[in-house]
Amino acid sequence: MSLALQTEASTMPAEISSEMHRLMAGFLTDLPEKNSKIVRVFVSSTFSDMHVERNVLMQQVYPKLKQFCRDRYGLAFQLVDMRWGIQEGSTTDQTAAEICYSELALCQRISVGPYFLGILSHRYGTRQLPFRVQQSDMSSIEKVMRAQGNHVAADLLRKFYRLDENQLQPVFILQSAVSAEEEQQLLEAARSAADAAVKAGELTEARALEFTASVTHLEFVHGI
């Protein structure tokens, strides 16, 4: 460290000086949060029964809230609706739900105000196979499937999930080549196996939701 920096550091409070030394040494984890000036709200709803409400929200409510936050508080208002402007079933991308959860986490992290808005009616929402599955959960689900005699589903589970070891904690990732028929077959079997695994003490109820709950349900779990 240069003499100028040493002198400057010596005049700082001990806590700030220690933080500066830590950063200069390259320790960039656990960084302090930036002061945000954004209100970022994630909108969760099902598709077909809530399209009128989402249209009103985006076209009429959002512009007024954006202006209100800017004029009254000097804040940027952002509304994130991952379903607005598209039709139900228009995407078969297996990562769609994962992107929704990531966007929700971003809203939680940077919003200085509300970060989640849920709009519900009579529909429960679409269930999908989880994009990533922990190794222990995979073992539990496959074990129960085979104990139930459903070897076809267990083989599909191994066929369409591949272990990704390029992570700190290796997980199984759903492959994109799953057909609609095979996905439905595997989804129904996984739901049954997850329920049985909970009863057998092989899987927690929270982890079982990844196999049994709808995307909207899981958004509420992550958001609330």
Report how far residue 180's alpha carbon sits from residue 44's, in angstroms, rounded to the nearest whole number: 25
Residues 115 and 136 in one domain: no
pLDDT per residue over 65-106, tens digit each?
A: 999 999 999 999 999 998 765 555 545 566 788 889 999 999
Q: Closest Cα to residue 43, out of 94, 12, 90, 82?
A: 82
Say yes or no: 62 and 107 in one domain. yes
Please report the pLDDT score of residue 104 as a whole number: 96
Question: Are residue 101 and residue 154 in the same domain, yes or no?
Answer: no
Burial of 169 (0-12, 13-18, 19+ CB in 10 A): exposed
Which of 93, 119, 145 corresponds to the end of one domain?
119
Residue 90 lies in a domain: yes
Q: How many separate domains does the chain show?
A: 2
Cβ burial of 211 (10 Å; 0-12, 13-18, 19+) is buried
Domain containing residue 46: 38-119
Mean pLDDT in residue range 107-136: 93
114 lies in the same domain as 156: no
CA angle 82, 127, 148 (to 5 degrees): 155
Instruction: Tell whether 141 is covered by a domain.
Output: yes
Indicate if 142 and 175 belong to the same structural domain: yes
Question: Is 3 inside a domain boundary?
Answer: no
Asked if the structure places residue 1 within a domain, the reply is no
Q: Is the pLDDT of residue 160 over 50?
A: yes
The confidence score (pLDDT) of residue 90 equals 44
Whether residue 154 is found in the same domain as residue 186: yes
73: number of Cβ within 10 Å:
13
Residue 102 and residue 152 in one domain = no
Euclidean distance between the first and the last CA atom of the chain, given in angstroms as a whole number: 47
Q: Pick the last residue of a domain from 86, 119, 152.
A: 119
Task: Provide the 10 A C-beta neighbour count for residue 219.
Answer: 24
| 78, 141: one domain | no
Nearest alpha carbon to residue 219 among 68, 78, 107: 107
Q: Residue 192's closest CA among 224, 148, 162?
A: 148
The answer to whether position 31 is within a domain reads no
* One domain, residues 171 and 204: yes
Report residue 46's pLDDT band, with 50, 70 and 90 as the boundaries.
Answer: confident
- For the stretch 189-219, pLDDT in tens is 999 999 999 999 999 999 999 999 999 999 9
Confidence of residue 142 (pLDDT cuts 50, 70, 90): very high
Q: Are 104 and 70 in contact (CB under 8 A)?
A: no
Indicate if 145 and 73 belong to the same structural domain: no
**pLDDT at res. 84:** 65
Domain boundary among the residues 84, 119, 154 is at: 119
pTM of the model as a whole: 0.77
Same domain for 109 and 71, yes or no, is: yes
Which is higher by pLDDT, 187 or 31? Answer: 187
Establish if 24 belongs to a structural domain: no
Question: Same domain, yes or no, for 138 and 209?
Answer: yes
